Amino acid sequence: MIVAGHDHLYDHWVEHYLDNGATYRLDSLVTGGGGAPAYAYVGEPDLRGYVAAGTAQGVRVDHLTRPGSTPDDNPHHFVLIQVDGDRLSLEVVGTGTAAAYTPYNGSAKIALSDGVS
């Protein structure tokens, strides 16, 4: 898992790939939801070249949750990462907002496993 900041919004990507016959998963989070004023997400990156370069490794990239198109859709937040044996989960907690921040299809929590796309 890669957890990075700088952009002041929440973004979650998952890359699936093959190495020596085994399937792997790499989650990448951007969680910089504090400090600066909220701003809008300006668009998706073009990953076609990256995926094409990884054809031999069966690279697939899924965007589990995207930042919002308006500043109000990208509230200040923090992320709780829970590790329990071989189980890993995330909870995104909005701060200073009246409504709960639920970036995962109406939920603030997600369990990460090989079965999650």
CB 61 within 8 A of CB 51: yes
Q: What is the pLDDT of residues 13-67, one digit of tens each?
A: 999 999 999 999 999 999 987 777 888 888 899 999 999 999 999 999 999 999 9
What is the token pair recorded at 34?
């504090």
Instruction: Give Cα 55 distance to the centre of its chain.
Output: 23
Q: What is the pLDDT of residues 95-112, one digit of tens each?
A: 876 678 899 999 999 999
Report pTM: 0.87
- pLDDT for the residue 117: 47
- pLDDT for the residue 37: 82
